[in-house]
Structure 1
Amino acid sequence: SFVSDPYWNKGIEYVKDQERGYDYKEDLYVPGYFELPIKKGESIIFSAGVGEIKPRSLSMMYNKEMKLRTYRNSFFNCLKNSAQQFYLKKQKDNYLLAGYPWFGVRARDLFIALPGCTLAVGDVETFDSIMHTAMRALKAFMEKGVRCEVIQGIDYPDILLWTVWSLQQYAKETSLEHCTAKYGTLITEIVDYIIKNKHPNLFLHENGLLYSNGHDVPISWMDAVAYGKPIIPRSGYLVEFNALWYNILRFSASLIADKPEQRVIVDRLNALGDKLALSFKDMFLNDYGYLFDYVDGNFADWSVRPNMLFALSLDYSPLDKKERKKALDVVTRELLTPKGIRTLSPKSHGYSPTYLGNEAERENAYYQGPARPWLMGAYAEAYLKIFGLSGVSFLERMLIGYEEEMSNNCIGTISELFDGNPPYMGRGAISFAVNVGEILRVLSLLKKYNHF
């Protein structure tokens, strides 16, 4: 029975809203409470919602949901449970949310998070269902220039690159043959689309490198904006775009390498890859052993940023092992933290490690130092490619920092970003798909190494 006992809680304060510069105080009204008898050994199922429901169905619904639940009794299970919470079904279509509480479905986040949130937890079927939905949106854009209403940012210049990267992870989890049979046509169409310069803001130049204009709108994942303009105007030749492009050329050639009738195409892809490898080193590798973040005309960005990691971590790299190790040493020294990889080195101009303040202050700090857990995926792959089995124990120790997050902020998941300096406080969205997905992928990768 309901007992009417109305009262007001005055001056409730919301610390996170205060940190973000929003109104953070309000009064909350409590109308009363419910009261019911319960005997020893009995269970009570209570449900509250905005619509009516038959009480007799509650027990059956509860038991059904409990059978599907992943118990949060380990680090892996916490992340698995969190990964499945990003799954979104709309009628017959399947998507992956970018995060909670305010993110929708974003193309870049979807393709980066998808392998970890599905394949790393043994859910190949969900990968296929989400990719099938995304594939329709990709083809509508490539064939007709139509932007998807649900998947935001399908037209960004790096989306096709991340799509093939995601399918490459699928090939490694299933098999090259299975991936080719299921997605080979899509990969071929994407490569052909890029080579023929059909994308409105992704241009293949004579030197084999991809060029994009990012002066007026952000074109990469570092997409903070102030007064309508990118805070970090990454434009021209972006290091991760071209690392992904080189990897795609080699990967797509490997899919058809054993087909004699495709020999001409394989040779063409590899020739373009050879040209790109030479141009990549000339364009990005500097005298200090790390990679420029982007090069636009005569301007080269010397900032030490994590985007170079993709040239070190992908299965096919334009750099040799010695060059990769030298760049990885810089990342380890200047960007690695217990909560992810910093977005900017403390030694670089503009370093701002704390994501606090009003909206403008937060936007300016967003990619100027705070650490991102999802970049640990690329870091771990790069580290294992250099150090092999001897690197496993180091990476396992680095993951310990995330375990304490399972009982902080949003229980059992990982925040969007962390301060770049101690004590590395979690900030932003309370649960972020790319972070959960890539840490799961690292756990899966380490498990495979430990089986050797």
Structure 2
Amino acid sequence: MIEIRYGSQVCGELTSAASREWLVPDGLGGYAMGTVGGLRTRRYHGLLVVPGETPASRKVGLVSLDPAVLLPSGARVRLGAHEWVSGDVDPRGFELLERFDLTDGLPRWGWRIGDVVIERELAMLPGRSCVAVVHRLVSGGPVELELAAACTWRDTHGERRGDGPPLRMDPVDGGAVIEEAYRLSGPGWSPQGHWWRGVYHREEAARGLHPEEDLWYAGQFRDTLHRPGDTLSVLAWATDLEQEPPPGPQVVASARQRNRQVVAAARPADAVEATLALAADAFVVRTATGPDVVAGYPWFGAWSRDTMISYEGLFLRTGRADLGRELLRSYAATLSEGMLANTADTGRVEYNTVDGTLWFLHAVSRHVTVTGDTDLGDDLLPALRAVIDAHVAGTRYGIAVDPTDGLLACGAPGAALTWMDARVYGVPVTPRHGKPVEVNALWVNGVAGVAELAELAGQDAEGLHRLHERAVEAFRKRFPTPAGWLHDVVDAPAPAYPLGGATHHDDDLLRPNQLLAWSLPFAPMEPDAEALGHLGAGLLTPLGPRSLSPDCPGFLGRHRGGPAERDTAYHQGTVWPWLIGPYADAVRRAGLPVDDLFTGLEAHLSEYGLGSVSETADGTAPHTATGCPFQAWSVAELLRVRR
């Protein structure tokens, strides 16, 4: 794996230390998450964040364990870090950090106070909502170590205030049970019980969201570390855990061993691929209904489009084909009227994407092609053929094959059905009604993939081939523009007052969606180096393609501000690292070199979400990362195309 290690010049400088985040998942959708410097910059940060019925319905429990060292001289040195609404940052323990590293996916800190060095390691018990925080005396001593437990119990998207009821604390041996939801356990427990008021989250303020909360000081753990090697461990776990967890050092050791096995199973070709394989592991979770994919940490749950785009990278590139098979069967069971369910982060099951189902066809096809698992193809084939039939006949939101040309149209008032689905005050920013280019590339690809599966099963595929050939012919006729690239949407509704009274127009804005017309296995277009040259010149950045060329009207180069500002820019110039996958595939098919495409993204692995790839980045230099620091399809697509 790549080395992620920082010294005091990064750890001890507030902005640098607070802008780099680490993540330790529990395999269920919960996690521990924070920054290199220990400062909580998001409402989502905490040491024990517990998943609910869905990966998105998480709750924050143990927020922080703030260390304080009591030296033989009587001096008390605080090593935690909090920012307050007053503007103060107090304490400033990051100024005593001499190192931080991420090894085997687990964070480790080292504080130096003169000749005393205290090390902290953190891990979650794989497959269980349990965190272990282990402190070790590395040199010096003896010293006394205190750990102040700051707690809450709330939804990750909200905050809890001190003007409400205090947290319930039930005493147990060696600690306390908080809100009947999670337990704290460690040596020298001394209960306290009062509010720390006015904690400030700078990243929430930057995102235009409420940045303040109050924390409940539940109590402190305390022990003396006499000689190097002595440890003080604290465990926190959800009370529904059937068995008490093993000691903290054992939790860390077992998590480290598991992560090494995850990397080995992926058979990585180099250190970058090993890092991405472990990053991919964070998104594959077990829920009550089976395996699923978390779209991004810390705020996303499971989304069918993200899951299917990520499928090959997360499952087939990492040795998880058997688990992937189970996931595909589970998702197939949600099909209705030819559409795949899209589980919103609210927990509602909705059918509101035009492309999610087509990506599902692609995922099944790739699974069978890569693994040779024709049994799965045979089993799912009736459902896949029903998807094709439903799209030909027409289904929700005006999704239907146009009988005049065989292309797939979509659109309904107020709907945003493609992956460019941002809304501002309920109004789609890029509705893209009509015949979007990537939707039709996916349609062509999906029909061909199902035809191949039918032939493997010994079934008649003549009708599917005719459908495919007609769509390819229409695609090649309708989508090319005089400028040398492809239309983003054809037959789009005309503006309110079109010249000449036309009711439809073809949108020729330079966007990356057309990449799928060259990148997919059954792509409708032949490789075209000249067209890709236009796309590279207008869209490519070190972190992947922009969603709109800077030369186009409406381009926004900064993905910043409150929700409305960010959503307005979301698909109007913002960089999306996941698009490096289609871009690299298209470039390869055109016979052009791809090795230098990944340099910026590989460097990015140590810049933002450590060891992972962000959701988005600014469209203008220096292309600062934005959105979720840890995003499934960004990791999956980079992992998929690097080979």
Which deviations, in whole Å up to 9, do the C-alpha atoms of 1:309-337 show, x marking residues without a partner? 0001112222233xx33321111110011
Counterpart Cα distance in 2 of 1:329 and 1:258:
37
Matched residue SS, 1:256: helix
Q: Does the alignment pair 1:305 with 2:498?
A: no
Out of 619, 629, 636, the position equivalent to 1:420 is 619
Partner of 1:386: 590
Which deviations, in whole Å up to 9, do the C-alpha atoms of 1:263-291 show, x marking residues without a partner? xx422222222221221123211111111
**Shift of the alpha carbon at 1:97?**
1.2
**Shift of the alpha carbon at 1:237?**
0.8
Q: 1:312 to 1:299 in 2, by over 3 A?
A: same
Partner of 1:449: none
Matched residue SS, 1:351: coil
Q: Which has the higher contact order (CA 8 A, sep 6+)?
A: 1
Counterpart Cα distance in 1 of 2:382 and 2:483:
41
In the alignment of these two chains, the number of paired residues is 432
Partner of 2:222: 34
Q: Does the alignment pair 1:14 with 2:193?
A: no
Matched residue SS, 1:169: helix
Counterpart Cα distance in 2 of 1:144 and 1:379:
27
Q: 1:54 to 1:276 in 2, by over 3 A?
A: closer
Counterpart Cα distance in 2 of 1:147 and 1:76:
30
TM-score (norm 2): 0.62
Counterpart Cα distance in 2 of 1:320 and 1:429:
35
Out of 472, 496, 502, the position equivalent to 1:277 is 472
Q: Which amino acid aligns with 1:313?
A: S
**Shift of the alpha carbon at 1:299?**
1.4
Q: Does the alignment pair 1:68 with 2:258?
A: yes
Q: Does the alignment pair 1:362 with 2:557?
A: no
Q: Does the alignment pair 1:409 with 2:608?
A: yes
**Shift of the alpha carbon at 1:214?**
4.6
Partner of 1:450: none
**Shift of the alpha carbon at 1:255?**
2.6
Partner of 2:161: none
Counterpart Cα distance in 1 of 2:250 and 2:539:
50
Structure 1 gap segments, 5+ residues each:
447-452
Partner of 2:150: none
Partner of 2:294: 97
**Shift of the alpha carbon at 1:132?**
1.8
Q: Which amino acid aligns with 1:433?
A: A
Partner of 2:417: 219
Counterpart Cα distance in 2 of 1:113 and 1:258:
25
Q: Is the 8 A contact 1:193 1:199 kept in 2?
A: no
Partner of 2:337: 142
Partner of 2:523: 317
Q: Which amino acid aligns with 1:120?
A: R
Q: 1:396 to 1:178 in 2, by over 3 A?
A: farther
Q: 1:375 to 1:151 in 2, by over 3 A?
A: farther
Q: Which amino acid aligns with 1:441?
A: R
Q: 1:88 to 1:384 in 2, by over 3 A?
A: same
Q: Which amino acid aligns with 1:361?
A: E
Q: Does the alignment pair 1:113 with 2:113?
A: no
Partner of 2:461: 266
Q: Which amino acid aligns with 1:293?
A: D
Partner of 1:246: 444
Counterpart Cα distance in 2 of 1:68 and 1:310:
36
Name the structure where strand makes up a greater proportion of residues. Answer: 2
Q: 1:258 to 1:92 in 2, by over 3 A?
A: closer
Which deviations, in whole Å up to 9, do the C-alpha atoms of 1:155-192 show, x marking residues without a partner? 42222211011112213321274553353333223222
Q: Does the alignment pair 1:373 with 2:561?
A: no
Q: Does the alignment pair 1:77 with 2:274?
A: yes
Counterpart Cα distance in 1 of 2:250 and 2:215:
34
Out of 539, 543, 546, the position equivalent to 1:339 is 543
Counterpart Cα distance in 2 of 1:267 and 1:381:
29
Partner of 2:398: 201
Q: 1:176 to 1:94 in 2, by over 3 A?
A: closer
TM-score (norm 1): 0.86
Name the structure where helix makes up a greater proportion of residues. Answer: 1
Partner of 2:359: 162
Q: Is the 8 A contact 1:214 1:234 kept in 2?
A: no
**Shift of the alpha carbon at 1:92?**
4.2
Q: Is the 8 A contact 1:87 1:96 kept in 2?
A: yes
Matched residue SS, 1:47: strand
**Shift of the alpha carbon at 1:427?**
0.5
Q: Is the 8 A contact 1:212 1:237 kept in 2?
A: yes
Q: 1:46 to 1:404 in 2, by over 3 A?
A: farther
Counterpart Cα distance in 1 of 2:559 and 2:543:
14
Partner of 2:484: 289
The more displaced of 432-441 and 16-25 is 16-25
Counterpart Cα distance in 2 of 1:221 and 1:406:
25
Identity within the alignment, %: 27
Q: 1:288 to 1:242 in 2, by over 3 A?
A: same
Q: 1:268 to 1:68 in 2, by over 3 A?
A: same
Structure 2 gap segments, 5+ residues each:
1-187, 264-269, 494-503
Matched residue SS, 1:137: coil
Counterpart Cα distance in 2 of 1:27 and 1:153:
35
Q: Does the alignment pair 1:228 with 2:426?
A: yes
Matched residue SS, 2:292: strand
Matched residue SS, 1:440: helix
